[in-house]
Amino acid sequence: MEQFIQLLISGIAQGMIYSLVAFGYNITFSTSRSFNFSHGNFLMLGGVVGLIFFINNQVPFLAMVLAVVFVGLIMGLILYKTSIEPSLKSKSNYAWILATLAFGIILKNIVEVFWSTDDFRFDSPLGNAPIRIMGIGVLPQEILIIIVAICIVVAVESFKKYTIFGKAIVAVSEDKHTASLMGINQQFVILFSFLLSSVIACLAGVLVAPITMVGATMGTVLGVKAYAVSIIGGLESGYGVLLGGLIIGLSEAFTARYISTGYKDAPGFLILILVLLFLPSGIFGKKIFKKV
Amino acid sequence: MKKIIYGILLLLPFLLPQMVDNPYYIQGILCRIIVYAMLVASLDLIVGYIGDVSIGHAGFFAIGAYAVGILTSTQELNSDSSMTWFPHIPFFVALFIGVLLTALAGFILGFPALRLSGPYLAVVTIAYGLLIYTIINEQEYLTNGTKGISLEPIEVFGVKFGGSNYLYIVYPFLIMVMYVIHNLTKSYWGRAFEAIKYSEVAASSCGISKSYYKIWAFVISAGIAGLAGGFFSQLDAYVAPNTFSYNFSVEFLIALIVGGVQSILGNILGASVMVIFPDLFTKFNDYRLIIFGFSLLLVLFFMPKGLAGFVNLIKKRFTKKKDGHYIEALIERASAVKLFDELKENNDQVAVQLKDLTMRFGGLVAVNELNMTIKKGTVHGLIGPNGSGKSTTVNLLTGIYPPAGGKVQLFGKSIIAESTYKRAKLGIARTFQNLQLFSDMTALQNVMVGMHNSFTSNLFSICFNLPKSQKEEKNVETKAFAWLQFVGLEDIAFTEAKNLSYGQARLLEIARALASNPSLLLLDEPAAGLTAGEIEKINILINKIKESGISVLLIEHHMDMVMAVSDEVTVLDFGKKIAEGTPNQIQNNPTVITAYLGTHETSFH
């Protein structure tokens, strides 16, 4: 029983990491029908910048977080200008997938060439000693991840629901043309969504660093799994990522324990395929009637 | 003459193993390019022709490679492995089994691809690739896990084909694969792929079954990827799982785009860049992916047709356009074509009968218990203010929407259970209010898509361009040209649909619909946005169509036109039928006047 709860908690923590990264896909998909296919590499950049500032140079924690946010903003802007804006203008409906893939490949390769190809430890400022409650050990970092992930998702969703600018974002995702007729600057809303998504990815990088180690490849698998999470929950839903994250995180934890670590990713991807076979736009996705 | 030169050029590589002494260049570089080119070409079928992004082709490649690896393995070469099964069967038998297995995997992937597109399909392809990767990694007793399988060189009738000689094996297959893909994509199959890519609705209205062609495309693509994989296993006589990662799929996607989609030349160029580039600049190998990434961005936004597009641009300067002889011959042949086929003798005097047809969108009732009869051989007008349910009625008739209730009968037979493409086969053709032409195809090709159901050649005869399919293609082209003449568009037969004027595009839609030899033609606002002169042309066309015996349902806002050509008119308002009768009766019906102009009180106060 204790082991079961232990697995439950680490599964949830892992799932919330996926949810947080996946949320970045949803934010931009709703406004622009596109997202950053190399989101995982943005996460990696956040982790690397965090490591350089906080561990290597002993910069205060908060200052490091600010630096990471700043890097996220800059990268989001560059991504938007070089990959998203031209893709949305082009007629091809998959240009954005390839353009953001290319961007991520460049980013990862730059980190490898100019920084390092090794993995580094990132000690959590909260310490590495697990907190014991009734025989169940939980890392403080895991608790932090769960809290921060849920807070960010709730905060952004509330922002969309209760503020006027948030409503503009919703308007653009519902109907671009009508939104721009209402005087909403559609380009700015899309840019904003990419900046927000990049910042969240970079922060997620710092957040997971103590658990995964920091290195140029840390984001690739995370990015792909978060992508699956996002699709399972529904790319157009906000809170759907939380459920998607739980599904993948828990299936991983339990498969690794009870079947084999080598197969831990398999059930999640099988669930993904099954969900899409029956619900083509994810669990919380909307069914769209195509107008002819 | 040209063919002979091409033939000699094609044979040249066979001499290379004799001329170049260094097996590194032949096996390490040239054979690798050949194998990768096959994989890129298989990816092109999905990305270029079907228009879906696959990031899982490494998985298909892996199945092919491992099928050959496992089936030809011997105990001597893998003595300290964890493998327990060494079938040691001949290479080509193993290759054949590998291709079958991969084609099966492609078949399975085809199903989700039917309902999904864009990022939703891309993630499924990634999931497939990763699942295959995981299985290969974990089934150690079959695959030896991460340590991989060592293979012995191919031996056919005692002759060994290792080293430079491997070219003799792979090169003929490359030619065959490219020949088959070339024929396939230039045939009615290729046009069907293209049609589905541009507009699924228009394609199914032309009688193209999306499921059939999409699944076949995945099967063929996977089969070719598996073939390439099988050959790959012999390049280094060794296979290991880490080759077939997610990054491998991504790199091939880049190679495809950089080389140029929908082009055999592009496939080969893309594969060459991928193989030669790192070899040429070993010093810059660390920066390889940076350069790859940048070249992908550049190609995407500045050279959408890739390197092949660039080469073709240069080639175009030195070659002439479609020559006059070809067009003259086409005109000559078209003059002998009889356009309207004999309509099937049908005693039923009713073409279409709608009974209590109802459609709801959420709470909105778009069509409300509509009863309507279109008599055979007549023009039936359907009018009503905006939003009264006219286009919805057309979409219900063609099966694009499933109705909430009611019946649809075509010549006395219920067609409610049939899908859109089947209804097209049964004789319903349509045009679209918002034009749905296949924009990158020429006007002639658009009409040929309309004639999709008159093709009977099977896949085999298409892939090898057998005389039967050549003849059929020629006949259809001739008749398609005659249809263009019928609507007066023969001068722009070889112009791409996206470059047509608005009026020409509307006429082309009619030609495409007529070409399917329908018994019922649905014209959804054919005169919208046209000038008076162009409308007059359409009036004449409609009368000609009616004379041929085809029944027509005409939706239109131009009242002059509807009243001039219709035998009977039905008026809808808020989804309900408010009047029906001859044009004369309708014009004097007070309910109709109210619906269009409002009542006396509301319009003057």
pLDDT tens sequence across B76-130: 888 888 888 888 899 999 999 999 999 999 999 998 888 888 889 999 999 999 9
> What percentage of chain A has pLDDT greater than the value 90?
59
- Chain segment B140-158, per-residue pLDDT in tens: 888 988 899 998 888 887 7
- Written as one letter, the residue type at A282 is G
Classify the C-alpha dihedral A220-A223-A229-A235 as positive or negative.
negative
Which of B130, B104, B107, B59 shows the shortest CA–CA distance to A267?
B130
Name the maximum alpha-carbon separation found in chain B.
Answer: 100
pLDDT of residue B344: 61
β-strands B551-555, B520-524 pairing: parallel
- Chain segment B404-451, per-residue pLDDT in tens: 999 999 998 899 989 999 999 999 999 999 899 999 999 999 999 999
Q: Which residues of B touch A273 (CB under 8 A)?
A: 112, 124, 127-128
What values do phi and psi take at B581, rounded to 5?
A: 160, -170
Minimum distance, in Å, between the CA of residue A23 and any CA atom of chain B: 15
Judge whether B99 and B223 are in contact, CB under 8 Å. Answer: yes
DSSP letter at B164?
G
Candidate from A86, A106, A112 with C-beta closest to B293: A106
Classify the C-alpha dihedral B460-B463-B467-B473 as positive or negative.
positive
Half-sphere exposure in the Cβ direction for B410 (13 Å, CA): 23
Judge whether A140 and A127 are in contact, CB under 8 Å. Answer: yes
Residue in chain B lying closest to A281 (CA): B120
In the predicted model, is pLDDT for residue B533 greater than 50? yes
Highest mean pLDDT among A122-136, B156-170, B342-356, B396-410: B396-410
Which of the pair, B229 or A91, is modelled with greater confidence? Answer: B229
Lowest mean pLDDT among A90-94, A95-99, A155-159, B59-63: A90-94
pLDDT of residue B17: 78
Mean pLDDT, residues A44-65: 93
DSSP letter at B419?
-
Distance spanning both ends of chain B, measured CA to CA: 82
CB proximity A35 to B under 8 Å: yes
CB proximity A62 to B under 8 Å: no
In the predicted model, is pLDDT for residue B1 greater than 80? no
Burial class from Cβ neighbours inside 10 Å (0-12, 13-18, 19+) for residue B539 reads middle
Mean pLDDT, residues B455-460: 94
pLDDT of residue A288: 57
Cβ–Cβ below 8 Å for B289 and A105: yes
Q: Which residues of A touch B124 (CB under 8 A)?
A: 272-273, 276
Going along B45-129, which residue ranges are E strands?
Answer: none
Count of residues making up chain B: 605
In the predicted model, is pLDDT for residue B570 greater than 90? yes
CB proximity B300 to A under 8 Å: yes
Indicate which residue of B194, B509, B525, B534 is catalytic.
B525
Which of B581, B549, B518, B589 shows the shortest CA–CA distance to B380?
B581
Confidence of residue B599 (pLDDT cuts 50, 70, 90): low
Cβ–Cβ below 8 Å for B304 and A90: yes
What values do phi and psi take at A130, rounded to 5?
A: -70, 145
Mean pLDDT, residues A179-207: 93
Judge whether B53 and B188 are in contact, CB under 8 Å. Answer: no
Which of B454, B522, B477 shows the shortest CA–CA distance to B201?
B522
- Write the CB contacts of A223 (distance below 8 Å, at least 6 apart in sequence): A21, A38, A39, A40, A41, A43
CB atoms within 10 A of CB A261: 11
Query: In chain B, what are the domains?
Result: 25-318 (no CATH), 350-604 (3.40.50.300)
Count of residues making up chain A: 292
DSSP H/E element including B299: helix B288-302
- Chain segment A75-87, per-residue pLDDT in tens: 999 999 999 999 9
Confidence of residue B597 (pLDDT cuts 50, 70, 90): confident
Per DSSP, the three-state class of A281 is: coil
Per DSSP, the three-state class of B527 is: coil
Cβ–Cβ below 8 Å for B119 and A273: no
Q: Which residues of A touch B304 (CB under 8 A)?
A: 90, 92
- State how far Cα B306 lies from the chain centre: 20
pLDDT of residue A290: 52
Judge whether B202 and B438 are in contact, CB under 8 Å. Answer: yes
Which of B87, B602, B300, B271 shows the shortest CA–CA distance to A91?
B300
- Chain segment B76-85, per-residue pLDDT in tens: 888 888 888 8
pLDDT of residue A173: 85
Which of the pair, B186 or B338, is modelled with greater confidence? Answer: B186
Judge whether B103 and A19 are in contact, CB under 8 Å. Answer: no
Q: Which residues of B touch A263 (CB under 8 A)?
A: 134, 138
Which of B500, B565, B506, B562 shows the shortest CA–CA distance to B531?
B506
How many angstroms separate the Cα of B393 from the Cα of each of A203, A239, B358, B373? Answer: 52, 38, 9, 13
Judge whether B581 and B589 are in contact, CB under 8 Å. Answer: yes
In the predicted model, is pLDDT for residue A269 greater than 50? yes
Q: Which residues of A touch B293 (CB under 8 A)?
A: 102-106, 109
DSSP letter at B375?
E
pLDDT of residue B80: 82
* Cα–Cα dist A34/B406, whole Å: 40
Average pLDDT, chain B: 89
> What percentage of chain B has pLDDT greater than the value 90?
58
What values do phi and psi take at B226, rounded to 5?
A: -65, -40
What CATH fold (topology level) applies to the domain A2-278? Answer: ABC transporter involved in vitamin B12 uptake, BtuC (1.10.3470)
DSSP letter at B367?
E
Cβ–Cβ below 8 Å for B115 and A112: no
Judge whether B520 and B545 are in contact, CB under 8 Å. Answer: no
DSSP H/E element including A251: helix A240-258
Task: Please name the residues between 242 and 271 in chain B that touch chain A, using a CB distance below 8 Å.
Answer: 246-247, 250, 253-254, 257
Residue in chain B lying closest to A288 (CA): B361
Mean pLDDT, residues A155-168: 91
Task: Please name the residues between 79 and 98 in chain A that touch chain B, using a CB distance below 8 Å.
Answer: 82-83, 86-87, 90, 92-95, 97-98
pLDDT of residue B182: 95
Candidate from B112, B130, B293 with C-beta closest to A105: B293
| B525 carries an active-site annotation | yes
pLDDT of residue A289: 53
- State how far Cα A80 lies from the chain centre: 17
Per DSSP, the three-state class of A2 is: helix
DSSP letter at A184?
-
Cβ–Cβ below 8 Å for B123 and A272: yes
> Residue written as tokens 């580094």?
A120
pLDDT of residue B604: 46
Candidate from B122, B247, B292 with C-beta closest to A97: B122
In the predicted model, is pLDDT for residue A291 greater than 60? no
Mean pLDDT, residues A193-221: 93
In the predicted model, is pLDDT for residue A147 greater than 80? yes
Confidence of residue B603 (pLDDT cuts 50, 70, 90): very low
Q: Which residues of B touch A102 (CB under 8 A)?
A: 254, 292-294, 296-297, 300
How many angstroms separate the Cα of B585 from the Cα of each of B354, B567, B569? Answer: 22, 11, 9
Confidence of residue B164 (pLDDT cuts 50, 70, 90): confident
Which of the pair, B491 or B342, is modelled with greater confidence? Answer: B491
Mean pLDDT, residues B497-503: 93
In the predicted model, is pLDDT for residue A292 greater than 60? no
Judge whether A230 and A241 are in contact, CB under 8 Å. Answer: yes
Judge whether B149 and B83 are in contact, CB under 8 Å. Answer: yes
pLDDT of residue B571: 93
- Tokens representing residue B153 in the block: 């060189």
pLDDT of residue B326: 84
pLDDT of residue B330: 87
- Tokens representing residue B305 in the block: 């047709």
Cβ–Cβ below 8 Å for A265 and B250: no
DSSP letter at A120?
B
- Helix axis angle, B467-487 to B324-334, nearest 10°: 80
pLDDT of residue B322: 63
